[in-house]
Chain A
Amino acid sequence: MPMTTTRKFLFSLVLLIGVLAFTDAHAGMESQDDSSPSAPTVINGKPAVSGEVATAPVPDPLYGWNKFWFTFNDVFYSRLMRPLAKGYVVIMPKKARTGLANIYNNFTFPIRFLNSLLQLNFVKASREFGRFFINSTFGMAGLMDLAKSDPNLQPGNEDFGQTLGHYGMTEGFYIVWPFLGPSNLRDTIGMAGDAAANPLTWIFGPWSAHDDYNPWYWSYIIKAGDTFNRLPETLDEYDAITKPAIEPYTAMKDAYIQYRRNAVAH
């Protein structure tokens, strides 16, 4: 039963992408790289890193769609939601906001744990487990991130998109989703995988449609709540990229791509 939902999601996703691929797209946006020859992967015996050489351009065949939703998200989050986020910071002390974020992060432990295992990174997996154990018990169901005080138990951030990248799947084209923000083909599939590993999906899945106690929409409400709770920090990061930018759309696209490439590599 659970797989039907994911399969349906994946199918409609593939259909959507197929449709989008035919939409108006700026052909010129595909290759923005300077005319350097194909980037070497090794320099002086060390792996080439971003900034040193021109990184391979990521195709942007959905430029029309992306630019539209980038602008939409900018208006929604940066203009509409920003005053709300500012007010939220005023009424909710930092400790409370951090506590809520900690609870949610602790709750989504299976995502990071499973993906660390899938990547056969047992150090990371045991780190996630250690954090989960300490924070759930002594940290009062995740409210306090006590594990952080241990230098060996620092927070990790593995997800399914990184797992796919670990096993060689290329990132694919760049795509901006409404509300969800920048992503790429591989990471979008990753999102579906993360949803499958998120306990919320299992507790509040559509199979609970007839269950009065676990209505299906709570999963989305909680996720939206977590997004809002972290909005002040997210906006800071967004500003860090777009405020000093001459071309905010390209700045965001490039920052996302570099960030994910670095995440997959580490």
Chain B
Amino acid sequence: MKIVSPRLCLAVVLLLSSVMPALAGQATQVLSASVDQVILLLANPAYKDTATRPELRKKVIKTIEAIFDTRELSRRALGAQWNNFSPDQQNRFVAAFGTLLQNTYLDKIESYTDEKVRYLSEDDLGGGKTEIATKVVGKDKEIPITYRLVDHDGWRVYDVIIEGVSLVQNYRSQFGQILMNESPDVLIAKISAKKS
């Protein structure tokens, strides 16, 4: 009977205990890196200046585009209707919806001044998906925001849930409503008209 060296055991245990926490928080690390970057850009005094703002805004948009999986978001927002769209319609929908989400998100976060984001927990949902609970803590308000991320090639957000209201589900009910009476092209036109 082989006797495993206690020193080896200890070494393995120590190694695992130092690696596991890092693995468990991987998605949180990816998310927090993007969020922190956005906050940093927004806190930059040059952001207030209308001259230097467009440049910084482009950087913020780039960061948002990197962390949000727009295609996945769009697919889920259409639900079963996604398959009724032609590939061209799908692409146009993703572009239009992505712009709408960007503008909505930008409007919201640009109104933030000195809020801090706290990362509360990360739960594995199975199937390469995870859920991260965060809290945006401001001067006199706290907003719990939950992100759902999927790991296709890198963790990216595919849903945002506030007070139990899922963004994807909300848009899905709206789009489902519209598609009952209108064609996909009309829906895409409505979304494109909205962003302006």
Contacts and interface: CB of A to CB of B under 8 A. Distances in A.
B79 A51 contact: no
Given A32-B176, A254-B174, A258-B170, A50 B104 contact: no
Nearest to A54: B79
B42 to A, nearest CB: 19
Contacts of B165: 50, 254-255, 258-259, 262
B21 interface: no
A246 B161 contact: no
Contacts of B108: 240
Nearest to B125: A46
Contacts of B166: 49-51, 258
B172 interface: yes
A261 interface: yes
A55 B174 contact: no
Interface in B58-92: 76, 78-81
A258 B169 contact: yes
B131 to A, nearest CB: 8
B173 A253 contact: yes
Nearest to B100: A244
Interface of B is mostly: helix
A55 B80 CA distance: 13
A98 B139 CA distance: 13
Given A51-B76, A261-B164, A263-B164, A254 B178 contact: no
Contacts of B149: none
Contacts, number: 98
B163 interface: yes
Contact of B169 (A43, A51, A241, A245): A51
B127 interface: yes
Q: Report the contact-size class of chain A (Cβ under 8 Å from the partner).
A: 35 or more
A34 interface: yes
Interface string B119-134: 0000001110000000
B80 A246 contact: no
Interface string B134-166: 000000100000001000000000010101111
B104 to A, nearest CB: 4
Nearest to B123: A46
A33 interface: yes
Contacts of A7: none
A234 interface: no
A4 interface: no
Interface string A17-58: 000000000001100111110000001111001111011000
Contacts of A254: 165, 169-170, 173-174
Interface of B: 76, 78-81, 100, 104, 107-108, 125-127, 140, 148, 159, 161, 163-178, 180-181, 187, 190-191, 194
Interface of A: 28-29, 32-36, 43-46, 49-52, 54-55, 94, 98, 240-241, 243-247, 250-251, 253-255, 258-259, 261-263, 265-266
